[in-house]
Amino acid sequence: MLDCDICDELNGELPSWLENESRLMVEDEHFALTPTLGCLTPGYVLIWSKSHVPSMASLRTRERAALLAFLARVVKTLEAEYGAVAVFEHGADGLSQAGNCVDHAHFHLFPCSNGLGQRLGALRENWSILDWSELGSLSGLPYLLHSLPGQPNPAVSLVEEGIKSQLVRRVLAEDLGIPDQWDWALFPFLNHLRETQRRWSL
Ligand SMILES: [Zn+2]
Ligand SMILES: [Zn+2]
């Protein structure tokens, strides 16, 4: 058996860190949506794949198609509530521990200003635009992906080992003016997590 807290949670185990309440907001056959632990700002959510894979690129073709539909639905609802939304992923290769937050595929989605979009872009120099339909070409490779508001396709960049952990949280915390509070283990922001759950309606 895999030892993965996320698989356990998606299989119905209630997280002890949330006083054994569920944080699940919506799910379908392949994906689930939750607010994130370390919910720096209301509206900061994660899309989890139900299969234990190291990146969304590693999903089977049929699941990747379902991902785009699920993502579009979530973005639409978030935008109605919070305004422009960005998507971020640190995809792992499944072999090394390369600094991704959790070794179970997930997208980060959060409200995104122009300034935050620029900070995300500044993380790498060698972004290239990838058509969403070609996401599978990154299977087995470690990568960063971000998709900014108003851009139809994501920017991706292959990464080496040694990427800082919780990279996107650090950027987000800086943008929010709380640069020391990026670490979910120290700053869970359960108040924002619960607010995000409350405001969700699909
Ligand atoms: Zn898992
Ligand atoms: Zn992550």
Which numbered ligand comes closest to the C-alpha of 49?
Answer: 1
pLDDT digits (tens, 9 = 90+) for 20-79: 899 999 999 999 999 999 999 999 999 999 999 999 999 999 999 999 999 999 999 999
**pLDDT of 98:** 47
57/8 Cα distance (integer angstroms)? 22
Distance CA 2, CA 74 (A): 28
Whole-angstrom Cα distance, residue 45 to residue 34? 6
pLDDT in the model for residue 146? 97
Q: How far, in Å, is the centroid of ligand 2 from the Cα of 1?
A: 23
How many whole angstroms from 14 Cα to the centroid of ligand 1? 15
CB 162 within 8 Å of CB 99: yes
Cα–Cα distance between 36 and 102 in angstroms, integer?
12
Q: How many angstroms is it from 94 CA to the middle of ligand 1?
A: 12
Say yes or no to pLDDT of 201 above 80.
no
Sign of CA dihedral 13, 18, 20, 25: negative
Residue type, 150: G
Spacing, Cα 153 to ligand 1 middle (Å): 27
Distance 104 CA to ligand 2 centre (A): 9
User: What interhelical angle do 114-121 and 167-175 show, nearest 10?
Assistant: 140
To which residue do tokens 């290239």 refer? 128
Mean pLDDT value of segment 124-131: 95
**pTM beyond 0.85, yes or no:** yes
Tell me 149's DSSP state: T
pLDDT per residue over 76-122, tens digit each?
999 999 999 999 999 988 876 544 456 899 999 999 999 999 999 99
Answer yes or no: are the C-beta atoms of 89 and 55 closer than 8 Å: yes
Taking residues 2-9, what's their average pLDDT? 88
> How much is the pLDDT for 20?
84
CA–CA distances in Å: residue 8 to residues 21, 28, 62, 91, 190: 14, 17, 23, 20, 20
Q: Which two three-digit tokens encode residue 16? A: 């002890």
Measured distance CA(154)–CA(124) in Å, rounded: 14
Q: Compute the average pLDDT of residues 117-138.
A: 96
Q: Is the pLDDT of residue 1 over 60?
A: no
Burial 36-49 (b: 16+ CB within 10 A, else e): bbbbbbbbbbbbbb
Please name which of 39, 57, 41 lies closest in space to residue 49, comparing C-alpha atoms.
Answer: 57
Spacing, Cα 6 to ligand 1 middle (Å): 5
According to the model, what pLDDT value does residue 150 have? 87
Ligand nearest to the CA of 5: 1
Determine which of 4-13, 90-99, 174-183 has the lowest per-residue pLDDT on average: 90-99
Give me ligand 1 centre to Cα 8, in Å: 7
Name beta bridge partners: 147.
Answer: 87
